[in-house]
Structure formats: structure tokens, C-alpha cells
């Protein structure tokens, strides 16, 4: 890294599609989903610390509901580097507030990176090299750099970035101006994107100088940045709820992409467990004591090691047992878990399950 770098971990998400394991006071980022002893939040902090050159430069932004959990999981984090949202307003507000705070402390040329707390990264060294390349680009140019992930299958659950003009190499990675963003295409469109070789998955990771992103927010999202500058975080609940992709990245002319390949998964739902842990000698992914008959292609999970899950004649399903809830869902319908949570939320008898 050529100068001080300030990674910001976005840790306010709920991870609803991992319910019932992920709940309001124990969201996905507090869990370990890959069999390690470190939670997703802790693993994210671990890989960013070397890039940040220590805890003093690492920041976290989270919600008031889980702030204590963040403190418990990251006790070394300086208290003034933890930004606590009084009400979640999505990533645009989070990026604006954190960038303002870092600029106040370190100036408009401070290099900032934003990283979701719930990603899985396989190749730590390659990841660090990619961040260094993005930082080099952001330091050299007025650029908002996003990391593109080389697609491995025609996903309909990820956003896509189309590469435009080649602007040169940084370390050994080629950078491109962004032509366009496409959110969650259908299967045929995703297959077409893959066939061209000029599309990346949108990782949701961004690197830029503080002054660059704040200037662009003034141009494209004044309804977010101006109230924050005038009133500070007290205005947070009144800010519009919008993602940084919609509020800024799809509008700015300063968007650049670095296509990278370091082994990545955003752990969006229970099917991610299969991508991480599937073994050729087992027809299922079993994170439980499982007794099965004619059960294949399924994900079996129990949080209590004493619980036994017995299945007969199941195919391509997810079975999760956590405390007082059992979830059974077809693998191709896990995205609908958020829908069932709305039903539970509206039933007073069941709200304790959230």
C-alpha cells in the first residue's frame, strides 16, 4: 500500500436468508459458516488488518441493535472507529457518513475501502494484491473503483458489471471504465453475459479517495450527503434508504472495475454452504448428526450437536434446526425465506422467532 488505507466494514446487514440461524440479535456476520472458529465479521477484520496497518485505521459501521455484538467480537477496535447507525438506511448513507468522518480526521486524500462483513475469501494473498492494485488506481486517478469477480456460473442472484475502455494495468490487474451495471438478470441474460467475457459479478467492495466520493455524492445524491454535513448523524433516520449502487455507482462517470479472481462468495443464502463445503464422497452437505435414507443433494444443519435429523426420500432440500425452529425448504426457493419472515413478523405469537 503506497499510503495509509482505511478499510470500513459494512456490518449492519440482517442476513435474513440464513434464518433461523441468523436472527435479529445474532445476524449472519456473527456466525461462522465455513467450519472455522472465526465469525464472518472477525474473518473480514483479520484480512483487512494488514492492509490497514493495524486497528487504528480499521473502521466498522453497524446498527444500534447489534453494536454491542460488534464490540464483543472485535474488542480491539477503537471506540471512535465504530459508527453506530440509529436506523439502517442502506449502503449509500453508510458510505456517505463513514467517508465524511474519515475525511474530517485524515483529509480528502484519505484512501478508503468499503467491505461487506459477510463475504468469504479463499486466497488471502491474492485478495490483498487486488486491494493494493485498486488503491493504486484510486490514488492516481479520480476514480471510484469496484472489485469485479470473475463469474463461474450464470448466476441470477448477483449484479453484473460490464467492462468498458481498458485504462491500463495496476500491478498485474487490468482496470476498465465501467460501461454499465445490471442488477440480477434472468438466466438467459446471465448466460449471454458470461459468453462475452466482458462482465464481472458486482462484489459490493469499493475503493476511493474520500474527497472524490464526497464530491460525486454532492452531484448525484445531495439528498443524502447534504443533510449529513449540516446535521450530522442525528439526521440519519430521515435520510432516504438507498444502496450506493443505485444512488451513485450507476450514475457517476468515475466508476472503474478491476476484474479479480481470489475465490469469493457473498454467502447470500443456505446454498452457499454447499458451494463451500460440498465433498465428492457425500451426496449431501451435513453439519449435523444426520441419518438419511434415499436423501441426496441436500443441506442438513443443526446448531445443537445433540440434535439428530432423520430424512427419508428427500432431494435438493435444506433442513435447518436451530433452537426452537425447524426450517425445511427446497434449495431453489431459499430466496423466499425473507417472504416467510414477513409473515412471522405480522403474527404476534411468532415474533420471538425473529
pLDDT tens-digit profile, the chain (354 residues): 557 999 999 999 888 999 999 998 899 999 988 767 899 999 999 999 999 989 999 999 999 999 999 999 999 999 999 999 999 999 999 999 999 999 999 999 999 999 999 999 999 999 999 999 999 999 999 999 999 999 989 988 889 999 999 999 998 899 999 999 998 899 999 999 999 999 999 999 999 999 999 999 999 999 999 999 999 999 999 999 999 999 999 999 999 999 999 999 989 899 999 999 999 999 999 999 999 999 999 999 999 989 999 999 999 999 999 999 999 999 999 989 999 999 999 988 888 888
A 10 A CB-CB count for 239 gives: 23
What pLDDT, on a 0 to 100 scale, did the predictor assign at position 353?
Answer: 87
Are 128 and 208 in the same domain? yes
Are 282 and 148 in the same domain? no
Last residue of a domain, one of 211, 234, 265: 265
Are 238 and 346 in the same domain? no
Are 250 and 276 in the same domain? no
Are 132 and 248 in the same domain? yes
What pLDDT, on a 0 to 100 scale, did the predictor assign at position 1?
Answer: 54
Last residue of a domain, one of 265, 296, 314: 265
Are 239 and 284 in the same domain? no
The predicted-structure confidence for 258-290, as pLDDT tens digits, reads as follows 999 999 998 989 999 999 999 999 999 999 999
Are 214 and 230 in the same domain? yes
Range of the domain at 151: 5-265
Are 163 and 297 in the same domain? no
Are 99 and 123 in the same domain? yes
Last residue of a domain, one of 265, 289, 317: 265
CATH of the domain at 54: 3.90.550.10
Are 211 and 276 in the same domain? no
Closest CA to 162 of 131, 189, 141: 189
The H or E element containing residue 276 is: helix 271-277
Give the strand pairing for 285-287 and 144-149: unpaired
User: How many domains are contained in the chain?
Assistant: 2
Q: Residue 205: exposed, middle, or buried by beta-carbon count in 10 A (0-12, 13-18, 19+)?
A: buried
How far, in Å, CA of 250 to CA of 252, rounded?
Answer: 6
Are 257 and 288 in the same domain? no
Closest CA to 220 of 241, 246, 240, 182: 246
Who contacts 198 (Cβ-Cβ below 8 Å, separation ≥6)? Answer: 162, 163
For the whole prediction, is pTM greater than 0.85?
A: yes
Are 251 and 278 in the same domain? no
Amino acid at each position: 500500500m503506497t499510503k495509509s488505507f482505511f478499510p470500513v466494514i459494512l456490518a449492519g446487514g440482517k442476513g435474513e436468508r440464513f434464518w433461523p440461524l441468523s436472527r435479529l440479535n445474532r445476524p449472519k456476520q456473527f456466525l461462522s459458516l465455513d467450519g472455522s472458529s472465526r465469525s464472518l465479521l472477525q474473518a473480514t477484520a483479520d484480512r483487512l488488518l494488514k492492509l490497514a496497518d493495524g486497528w487504528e485505521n480499521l473502521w466498522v459501521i453497524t446498527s444500534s441493535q447489534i453494536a454491542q455484538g460488534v464490540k464483543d467480537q472485535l474488542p480491539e477496535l477503537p471506540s471512535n472507529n465504530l459508527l453506530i447507525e440509529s436506523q439502517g438506511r442502506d449502503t449509500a448513507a453508510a458510505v456517505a457518513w463513514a467517508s465524511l468522518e474519515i475525511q474530517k480526521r485524515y483529509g480528502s486524500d484519505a484512501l478508503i475501502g468499503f467491505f461487506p462483513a459477510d463475504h468469504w475469501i479463499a486466497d488471502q494473498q491474492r485478495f490483498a494484491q487486488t486491494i493494493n492494485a485498486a488503491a493504486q488506481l484510486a490514488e492516481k486517478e479520480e476514480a471510484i473503483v469496484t472489485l469485479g469477480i470473475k463469474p463461474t456460473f450464470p448466476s441470477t442472484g448477483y449484479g453484473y458489471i460490464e467492462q468498458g475502455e481498458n485504462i491500463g494495468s495496476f500491478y498485474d490487474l487490468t482496470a476498465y471504465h465501467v460501461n454499465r451495471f445490471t442488477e440480477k438478470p434472468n438466466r438467459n441474460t446471465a448466460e449471454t453475459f458470461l459468453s462475452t467475457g466482458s462482465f464481472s459479478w458486482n462484489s459490493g467492495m469499493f475503493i476511493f479517495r474520500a474527497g472524490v466520493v464526497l464530491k460525486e455524492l454532492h452531484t448525484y445524491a445531495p439528498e443524502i450527503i447534504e443533510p449529513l454535513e449540516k446535521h450530522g448523524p442525528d439526521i440519519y433516520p430521515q435520510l432516504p434508504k438507498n444502496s450506493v449502487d443505485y444512488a451513485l455507482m450507476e450514475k457517476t462517470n468515475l466508476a472503474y472495475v478491476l476484474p479479480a479472481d481470489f475465490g469469493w462468495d457473498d454467502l447470500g443464502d443456505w446454498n452457499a454452504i454447499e458451494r463451500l463445503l460440498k465433498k465428492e464422497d457425500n451426496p449431501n452437505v451435513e453439519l449435523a448428526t444426520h441419518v438419511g435414507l434415499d436423501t441426496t443433494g441436500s443441506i442438513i444443519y443443526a446448531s445443537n450437536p445433540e440434535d439428530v435429523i432423520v430424512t427419508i426420500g428427500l432431494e435438493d432440500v435444506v433442513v435447518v434446526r436451530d433452537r426452537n425452529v425447524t426450517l425445511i425448504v427446497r434449495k431453489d426457493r431459499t430466496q423466499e425465506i425473507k417472504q416467510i419472515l414477513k409473515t412471522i413478523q405480522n403474527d404476534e405469537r411468532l415474533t420471538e422467532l425473529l
